[in-house]
Chains A and B, each alone.
Chain A
């Protein structure tokens, strides 16, 4: 655990070194750190607060204010269900339910095995294909409950195949 914390500190510091010590850099810094770590462990926030010479609580309040920032580690695969107007009206909420049921988590959570995390987004700009779910950065069109099962099955098969190869 201690080792893990040291690593987080080191990775954060490496990113910080590329920025000036100005408060206006806070959000760009947060974006880069999350890009690297995937979320904000406490050590990372402490490190950032110290670097910008601001109270830790201010860093925390910015992290919690913006939807983009996460406080829990992401899964290996990200599932982002579009709940923009077009997607919602064409059944985005039904897709969200199907994901919740199958992954057995709520929005904003990560599965226990850290395979998937589930988020919602507002319009990813391809309303034509509503309802859309973005899975690992690829927008999937017309996601109905059967398609959710199909996508999960293909991940499972992929994992099994990799398992066999590594054996």
Chain B
């Protein structure tokens, strides 16, 4: 690039940045308290918008003038809605489980008065003498936030917040480097793709740059199809510009004038926030023609997926961008040389691209210093299921599963026992207790029979049936198979039928061998990753939890008391309290009646096994139990 162009880039950006910084510091140090409310999808579902309204109303009523900012997601899902108050003279304090009533109190007692309402505090964002800070939490020792750093801290709807916190500086730095140098930096960083397969990013960039064919395209894969994962959504909702900046740098490096941001249809808020981010970036000429006065032009179009899991697969995704059904095709050729409209196309996951600006800014050596021998940097996980601290976390590669589940996640709720952790979604597997000390990286998880996947992590406890979870994933992949390959289409269906029978207690021992055989056939006979990995949940549960399969088959018993055909609800007469009829009214099918002695009895014919009676029976009586096999229910007289 010409030197004159570069000078203008630097000086134009300096101006933009200084304006952004003065806006940011005006907000943070302007002498007024500031209220931050997390309004990502998770927060909204917990009632964050009602909290925002309550705060605005109360501020008005008290004639207080302080800004209320909607931020993204801090990752503490379990404590949503979350409100942070930054008041001069105090550290920024974060409150959890806030409802409109608590919100009003925070305004009156903390902002107007001087009582920081310690009873609602989750933690402070900075160390101080008044309240415990997040850095004192046990999980802080294990977490390292790189791409989640801004999430929940800046307003994703104001580009200035992003810029004031170092945003787009990496782009400016990159524009002063030759593209080959950028690719070299990414290669040396060892960054591997975070979409699941872990292909080295720098290598893919190089192949794409060197491929002939014009124009080249860039695609950011935000399809996030794993039905138990929400990392990419949280990033797009909380810090969309970090993704755009990664796309810009990638586009410059490979020589693409155009990029698509492909976002899943089920994420309407992520779509809105990304669209706003695109408009704001265009307005500051960080996107569009001759970016910041340089000779680099690049634009991004947002494309909404239409709800098909297979479209996360790169060739299917490209087909859907072209307006066709999302059916994968055989690779090679890979998209890097023959992609969208047959042109060289670089496709990377949201998280992969989010790392780019940090690598450019801090250098490859910094990135290499984090992680393990063959997996560098950090990993982002969405923790859900039977774990106390559900939410998002980011830890260095090499952290053990135990540290993530028990130190970051605070273990299993309700004093229950850990049984397994499901990683990698429909393509991954279930790992037992004995695998908990595995350091997490791409290779170790694959060796253990799971896979890194994109970062969904579902914790399962003693109440979760391992045959059922395998059946669940097979049901999912079977529905989502595009139908192109016979083995994927029919093989998964056949496996599902076998699993269905087993969960109903109608399986045979030889079915287990058949499952393994079918699995091998499907793996060998499928074209895309969906089919190739679909058997993994079955194979890994068979490997580690064969005894549960056998209990279903040989004894007609579900050890976790989950499979409905193999359990019965029963009210223990000796425990049932005569004067109580809590369960009778809650049973939605009127299956419970009182006998002459006013002891409640379940009509097994009518019962649909919904479990409501079990939760409604008061804990002091605890008379309702699940029995497996159902024949354990004593015959009624």
Q: A interface vs B, CB < 8 Å?
A: 22-28, 30-31, 61-62, 65-69, 83-86, 88-91, 94, 97-98, 101, 121-130, 132, 139, 141, 144-146, 148-149
Contact = CB atoms under 8 A, between A and B. Distances in A.
A128 B44 CA distance: 12
7 contacts: A88-B472, A98-B610, A101-B588, A123-B227, A123-B266, A125-B266, A126-B41
A84 B589 CA distance: 26
Nearest to B322: A24
A9 B385 CA distance: 47
Interface in B319-357: 320-327
Q: Which of A27, A68, A101 has the most CB of B within 10 A?
A: A27
Given A23-B322, A128-B384, A65 B308 contact: yes
B588 A145 contact: yes
B229 interface: yes
Contact of A25 (B41, B323, B390, B458): B323
Contact of B326 (A65, A69, A146): A65
A94 B611 contact: yes
Contacts of B404: none
A65 B227 CA distance: 19
A126 B588 CA distance: 26
B406 interface: no
Given A66-B307, A146-B612, A125 B41 contact: yes
A24 B78 contact: no
Contacts of A125: 41-42, 45, 230, 233-234, 266-267
Contact of B456 (A85, A130, A145, A149): A85
A97 B564 CA distance: 12
B24 interface: no
A94 to B, nearest CB: 5
Given A83-B227, A86-B228, A128-B78, A30 B469 contact: no
A62 B77 contact: no
A144 B612 contact: yes
Contacts of B233: 125
Contacts of A22: 323
A110 B608 CA distance: 23
Given A123-B227, A146-B586, A85 B384 contact: yes
Interface in B577-632: 586, 588-589, 608-612, 615-616
Nearest to B391: A128
Contacts of A98: 588, 610
B45 A89 contact: no
A90 B386 CA distance: 9
Nearest to A54: B323
Given A94-B610, A127-B384, A149-B588, A68 B41 contact: no
B306 interface: yes
Interface string B242-284: 0000000000000000000000011100000000000000000
Given A85-B228, A85-B425, A130 B306 contact: no
Interface residues of B, number: 61
Contacts of B384: 85-86, 127-128, 130
B307 A67 contact: yes
Interface string B102-145: 00000000000000000000000000000000000000000000
Given A94-B610, A128-B77, A128-B78, A123 B323 contact: no
Contacts of A97: 608, 610
B84 interface: no
A3 B376 CA distance: 63
Contacts of A130: 384
B304 interface: yes
Contact of A85 (B78, B227, B611): B227
A38 B178 CA distance: 50
Nearest to A26: B323
Given A61-B325, A84-B228, A145 B320 contact: no
B90 interface: no
A31 B45 CA distance: 24
Contacts of B482: 65
B71 to A, nearest CB: 16
A91 B611 CA distance: 9
Interface string B78-106: 10100000000000000000000000000
Nearest to A134: B45
A23 B615 CA distance: 54
Nearest to A126: B45
Contacts of B610: 94, 97-98, 144-145
A96 to B, nearest CB: 11
- Give the 9 A-B residue pairs with the shortest CB-CB distance, closest first: A85-B228, A26-B323, A122-B227, A66-B306, A67-B307, A127-B384, A68-B307, A65-B325, A126-B45
B36 interface: no
B611 to A, nearest CB: 7
Nearest to B321: A24
B46 interface: yes
Contacts of A123: 226-230, 266
A12 to B, nearest CB: 17
